Structure 1
Amino acid sequence: MNQLYRRNDALNVNPPVVNGKTSDINITVRGSDWYWAVCAIMTTAALVFSGLSHTKPRPQRLFHYITAGICFTAAIAYFSMGSNLGWTPIDVQFRRSDSKVSGINREIFYVRYIDWFITTPLLLMDLMLTAGMPWPTILWTIFMDWVMIVCGLVGALVKSSYKWGYFTFGCAALVYIIYQLGWESRLHASHIGPDVSRVYLMTGVLTIVLWICYPIAWGVCEGGNIISPDSEAVFYGILDIFAKVGFGAVLIFGHRNIDAERLGLRIRDYDEDPAVHPSTTGEKRSNGGSNGVTNGGQQAAPAETTATNV
């Protein structure tokens, strides 16, 4: 039995030392075990979402692929954190007497922010494309999301009280994102249809509630050094499971009977291209002349018609 049991040895293989500097406040084997568990959950979810994409025609798989990509990226991040990699020691602003958070510096997992930099824009695309929002609004909201993530990372890497300035900028960006999700996108989705509105409300409310919890986690972890890195792992891990896996499950289930074209997404399949299939009908040739994803935009007029108008 002892030969079958294999202990998590990641902390011995990858000790808490970076560039010759040892971190005082680190995860233990418990924290590493939890990160591995979340990695397994994210990997399983990514495989399931990817597999479910084959139940839909190729032009209808956009949301499956985006959601699977979110979980695949998170799985890699949690693999890194479970391996005790992707972190750097940063001197804490607040010294604590509690033995779990006592010390000069704390390990900050910057790989977590790399994960968020990739996955949160994809999550916003899932939501805002569901609501049929125009691309300029989506891109601007994604920019504000990047501002929020980068400010969170920079603030976590600053040891002085100036970290809270970055925290404030990040929270301001979050307020704008919540406004877009809770007001404009919600109204947009309600005009498409009750089924789309229902899916958007479930996923949108879930996202808003969970994203409000992330600044709280930052404040008691990287910012205030109040809870231990193991508790930090549990806090962020639970939020990520609901924000990625739970969100993805609700979204994919809700999209099962929603046609992408209703959301303004005209995605051309390769067999609609006359260059691939010369026998394609005239109607399909007209569709094949679109730009692939119009998001509600109008197709360009045929060349002959344009010349006549001129």
Structure 2
Amino acid sequence: MPGSESIWLWIGTIGMALGMLAFIARGWNVTDEEQKRFYVLTIFIPATAAVAYFSMATGFGLTEITVNGQVLDIYWARYADWLITTPLLLIDLALLAQASRNTIYTLVGLDVLMILTGLVGALAATPAVRIVWWGISTALLLFLLYFLVESLNEAASRQTESVRNLTTTLRNMLIVLWLAYPVVWILGTEGTIALIPLYVETAAFMVLDLTAKVGFGYVLLRSHSVLDQVGSVDSAPSAAVD
């Protein structure tokens, strides 16, 4: 069962649930089909995370792995959460930029591989093997972020300036936040280095999750006027999204 770190798991549960309810309330009277699509996708992100955090807070989403005689608490529900929510975040962003289906498939495929290899690393019983899997997962993350920048630059260049600016803001949010995850992992208990204790590690992941899910959703959905412009062709398209 979770120990003192459970407070952060409960905060995560409540925060995700409140984010979900806020998005539902904001989108309750939305009638535009294009905007509804963004609301549906975005609502499911904190909804999924709230369930995952509740399972971790109650001890269900937790398993123990023995590594070199040391018992590590591994929150497998966190990976289950990421396996669903991170593709939804990428789909939200790709739809905003009006990226092609092939771009979406590539982004989601890379993302799923990144999460699964991270999970294998978390469940491995040898420190060296865990770090190798972390390296593979991190390499996939870096390639994913590179492809994200390249593909969205091209797609969003055809959108209006407001949509391009929103795409840039959300893209940069994901880049900064997602780059922090492998750092917390390798420095925390899951990376076996344990420079960061489980209590701090759990708090760090919770803050990153809330920002990447509820924060992302707030920025995306706060302006209906911008979402109304999605798919409109800019009369003077930009060459790239800076």
TM-score where L is the length of structure 1: 0.70
Larger helix fraction of residues: 2
Q: Is the 8 A contact 1:186 1:200 kept in 2?
A: no
Q: Which of 9, 15, 23 pairs up with 1:49?
A: 23
Q: From the superposition, tell whether residues 55 and 147 of structure 1 become closer, same or farther in structure 2 (CA, over 3 Å).
A: same
CA distance in 2, matches of 1:89, 1:193: 50
Q: Which of 142, 150, 160 pairs up with 1:193?
A: 160
Q: Which of 150, 153, 160 pairs up with 2:116?
A: 150
CA deviations 1:194-223 (Å, max 9, x no partner) are 000111011110100000000001102211
CA deviations 1:234-253 (Å, max 9, x no partner) are 01001001101111100111
Q: From the superposition, tell whether residues 191 and 173 of structure 1 become closer, same or farther in structure 2 (CA, over 3 Å).
A: same
CA deviations 1:82-141 (Å, max 9, x no partner) are 112211111235xxxxxxxxx711110001000000000000001111111001110111
RMSD: 1.8
- Structure 2: 5+ residue stretches without partners: 234-242
Name the structure 1 match of 2:5: 31
Q: Does 1:238 align with 2:204?
A: no
Q: Does 1:253 align with 2:227?
A: no
CA distance in 1, matches of 2:91, 2:112: 13
AA of the residue aligned to 1:198: N
| Cα distance, 1:49 vs structure 2 | 0.7
AA of the residue aligned to 2:210: I
CA distance in 2, matches of 1:85, 1:256: 42
Q: Is the 8 A contact 2:42 2:217 kept in 1?
A: yes
Q: From the superposition, tell whether residues 185 and 261 of structure 1 become closer, same or farther in structure 2 (CA, over 3 Å).
A: closer
| Cα distance, 1:180 vs structure 2 | 2.3
- Structure 1: 5+ residue stretches without partners: 1-15, 17-26, 94-102, 265-310
Q: Within 5 Å, which residues of 2 pair with 1:1-310?
A: 16=1, 27-28=2-3, 30-59=4-33, 60-92=35-67, 104-160=70-126, 161-221=128-188, 222-226=190-194, 227-259=196-228, 262=231
Fraction of identical pairs, as percent: 35
SS in 2 for 1:192: coil
| Cα distance, 1:181 vs structure 2 | 2.2
TM-score where L is the length of structure 2: 0.89
Q: Which has the larger radius of gyration?
A: 1
CA distance in 1, matches of 2:162, 2:212: 21
CA deviations 1:44-88 (Å, max 9, x no partner) are 110111221223215121111111100000000110111122111
CA distance in 2, matches of 1:139, 1:128: 10
Give aligned pairs, total.
229
CA distance in 1, matches of 2:193, 2:40: 37
